[in-house]
């Protein structure tokens, strides 16, 4: 009888221990997943922020040049080039947002989450390749829109060239920082693997 009682007590403790272990894993998983969730939310915010800020900046910057007396072929071509690049930018930001929105760390497996993050990374890499075309086109569009506001002397041309090179290099550096954030997010998601059931 004592052996049976000991077996019963042992089984009860074993069940309690299993429940405590599951609870502990769940608590650790929730704690560890807070940081990747914050990063995902920040990346989503950046996408939405870009969708809102881009038209505000364009309207603010170009409003003085968009007058009836300024309409000529340069202005029209500049507006078309700018709208093409802005449309692409909107498509890119919307695609980023929808891709990030599909990542659910609570419901997805670790493999699914990492696969979705890799999909987001592929979108970012694709955009970086397209910047070699879109950025010069946007810069040309901006110059054509503001053509009548510029006096083209050596100083202005040099200033524009410096701005072009500086902003282009800044964009490349920003993209590398963004890539590092995505890599850290991927690593943090993979670290959750030990605590997923």
- Give tens-digit pLDDT for 63-118: 777 777 777 888 889 889 989 999 999 999 899 899 888 888 777 777 788 888 88
Under the banding of pLDDT at 50, 70 and 90, the label for residue 33 is low
Whole-number pLDDT of residue 91: 92
CA distance 10 to 30: 30
Query: Under a CB-based contact definition with an 8 Å cutoff, are residues 65 and 146 in contact?
Result: yes
pLDDT, average across residues 180-194: 79
State the number of CA atoms in the 13 A half-sphere of 13 facing the CB.
6
- What was the pLDDT predicted at 162? 92
pLDDT (0 to 100) of residue 27: 65
Name the DSSP letter for residue 72: S
Evaluate whether 78 touches 139 at the Cβ level (below 8 Å): no
* Averaged pLDDT score across all residues of the chain: 82
Q: How many helices (H) and strands (E) does the chain have?
A: 4, 0
Query: Structure tokens of 130?
Result: 């397209």
Q: Residue 47: how many CB atoms within 10 A of its CB?
A: 18
Q: Which of 24-38, 49-63, 182-196 has the highest mean pLDDT?
A: 49-63
Euclidean distance between CA atoms 188 and 197, whole angstroms: 17
pLDDT at 196: 58
Dist CA 133 CA 22 (whole Å): 52
pLDDT at 194: 61
Q: CA-CA distance, 43 to 34, in Å (whole number)?
A: 14
Give CA–CA dist 95/115, Å, rounded: 16
Please report the pLDDT score of residue 40 as a whole number: 84
Return the closest-CA partner of residue 43 out of 95, 113, 96. Answer: 96
Residue 24 has pLDDT above 90, yes or no: no
pTM of the model: 0.73
d(CA 109, CA 77) in angstroms, rounded, equals 49
């Amino acid at each position: 009888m004592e052996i049976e009682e000991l077996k019963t007590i042992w089984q009860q403790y074993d069940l309690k221990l299993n429940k405590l272990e599951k609870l502990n894993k769940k608590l650790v998983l929730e704690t560890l997943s807070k940081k990747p969730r914050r990063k995902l939310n920040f990346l989503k915010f950046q996408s939405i922020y870009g969708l809102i800020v881009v038209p505000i900046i364009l309207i603010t910057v170009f409003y003085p040049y968009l007058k009836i007396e300024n309409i000529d072929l340069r202005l029209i071509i500049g507006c078309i080039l700018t709208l093409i690049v802005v449309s692409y930018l909107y498509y890119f930001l919307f695609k980023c947002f929808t891709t990030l929105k599909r990542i659910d760390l609570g419901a997805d497996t670790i493999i699914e989450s990492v696969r979705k993050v890799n999909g987001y990374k592929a979108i970012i890499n694709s955009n970086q390749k397209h910047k070699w075309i879109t950025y010069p086109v946007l810069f040309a569009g901006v110059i054509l829109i503001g053509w009548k506001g510029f006096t083209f002397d050596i100083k202005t041309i040099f200033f524009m060239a410096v701005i072009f090179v500086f902003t282009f290099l800044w964009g490349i550096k920003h993209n590398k920082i963004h890539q590092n954030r995505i890599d850290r997010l991927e690593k943090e998601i993979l670290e959750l693997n030990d605590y997923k059931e």
